[in-house]
Amino acid sequence: MIHLKTDELFIPEAEEAVLSIIIHKPDSVYSLRGLKSFMFSSSPNQLLFSTIEDLISQGLVPEINLLDSHMKAVGKDLLIGGREYLNYLGKCNYDIANINEFERMVIRSYQARTLISVVSKIPERIMETKDVEGAISGLRTTLDKLSENLGGEDTSILQDILRDSWTTIVERVEHPGLRGVTTGVSDLDLSTGGMCEGEVWYVAGRPGMGKTAHMCNMMLAQGKEGIPALMFSFEMVKQALAERLLSLDTGINSFNIRLGNLNQKELDLLSSSIKSIKSLPIHVDSNFGGDINYISSTTRKYVRTYGIRVAYLDYIQLAAERGADATNELGRISRTLKLLSNELGITWVVGSQFNRLLETREDKRPQLSDLRQSGSLEEDADIVIGLYRDVVYNSKTKDKTLLEDIVLKNRNGPRGVIPLSFDEETGRITVR
């Protein structure tokens, strides 16, 4: 006998929480992991959730006034409880960080209700059929569908895995070369195979080493290849980032662009560059207050809407709240990015600071352990590139343009040092 409490079968508070959060933060709908309208226990909530999804798919923001006018226009406003229910949801105050827990509660209660319905009909089905095996098979199919949200989606038999691996290997032999998305640096592509789906890359360095410049070089090169990219910049406003890209593209001193110290030839060059790169599939988000939940929902939205293949975060320490628990918070963010890369089939490129202990060593070239609060970052990373410019520490160095890309971790390939040239005036990084 199945014993389920009533409060496990119907959880209106969880349903209201999901709807309220989406009304307050429409992008949070992209954080949902499988919730469907039919899983809500009441017809009004089913209709409202379905309507919200429809409006968002049209690029509209499902705020209360639009929902109210839309429902009235289609003659269904009374079916959801009218403006009164919408106002009630608008006054609710739920934390967006809990949306997936509320979603889980709604899904589990739907599963519980369906399970009771299925089980209660078993005696009747058995009594009315002569095909007992068929009835058992039908019941098994129903239960399998019901358990779809309980896990196992990523479980495969070895035979299938090997078959897919063989197909992939044959394709590589027939089309050798870059496996993933280009980094914009040919030597780095050769060392890593490019940026592949499901990978998390860390580009790390002390201040002034060129973390942001490196990511901008990668993103611009990918944009010119038609590869959609999304940048979360927690350190630089959109305008400043755009000027960096223009400096990279034109070779004009970025500081002169900032101050407006430009002649007519340079203005013409910038104008031509703007016309050339304005249509590149590059998206920039500079919400300095965005947390990992905002990053997750925005990334899901842009992957679905624009086909983003590479997402950038500049840089991870700025995405975490400062405090005694910063290490755990960074670990949570790092793990979330890794899960997102696998779920969405994208590459994350994450900027990170090295800790100050590096400065106390005679040789200041970075080591993997120099990652700040490094434990989780080291574990989640597929590729870690440490940046080193000798000129930052030694003004008398013979080669002031040398930038060393030190591959500190490469989960599927070799480690080593890739010497590059860095133009400090423009941020351009080129192969030697």
Task: Report the pLDDT averaged over residues 351-369.
Answer: 87
Write down the domain spans for the chain: 6-120, 186-431
CA 92 to chain centre: 28
Amino acid making up residue 112:
A
CB atoms within 10 A of CB 17: 23
pLDDT digits (tens, 9 = 90+) for 310-328: 999 987 888 877 665 667 7
Q: What is the pLDDT of residue 199?
A: 93
pLDDT, residue 113, reads: 84
Task: Give the phi and the psi of residue 140 in degrees, each rounded to 5.
Answer: -60, -40
CATH fold label, 186-431: Rossmann fold (3.40.50)
pLDDT digits (tens, 9 = 90+) for 85-120: 999 999 998 988 889 899 989 988 888 888 887 777
Looking at residue 218, its pLDDT comes to 93
pLDDT of residue 345: 92
- pLDDT of 209 higher than 80: yes
pLDDT confidence of residue 152: 46
**Which residue, among 1, 10, 7, 33, has the nearest Cα to 114 in the 3D structure?**
10
Residues in contact with 220: Cβ distance below 8 Å, sequence separation at least 6, in sequence order: 184, 245, 248, 249, 277, 280, 282
- In this prediction, residue 135 carries a pLDDT of 64
Q: Are strands 200-205 and 310-314 parallel, antiparallel or unpaired?
A: unpaired
Q: What percent of the chain has pLDDT over 70?
A: 85
> Which residues, in sequence order, are CB contacts of 348 under 8 Å at separation 6+?
199, 200, 201, 310, 311, 312, 313, 337, 338, 340, 341
What pLDDT score does 3 carry?
A: 46
What digits encode the pLDDT tens for the residues 229-251?
999 988 888 888 899 999 999 99
Q: Domain 6-120 adopts which CATH fold? A: DNAb Helicase; Chain A (1.10.860)
Q: What torsion, rounded to 10 degrees, do the Cα atoms 123, 129, 131, 132 define? A: 10
pLDDT at 429 over 60: yes
Q: Where does residue 12 rank: exposed (0-12), middle (13-18), buried (19+ CB within 10 A)?
A: middle
Of the candidates 350, 367, 349, 345, the residue with the CA atom closest to the CA atom of residue 358: 367
Task: Identify the pLDDT of residue 154.
Answer: 52
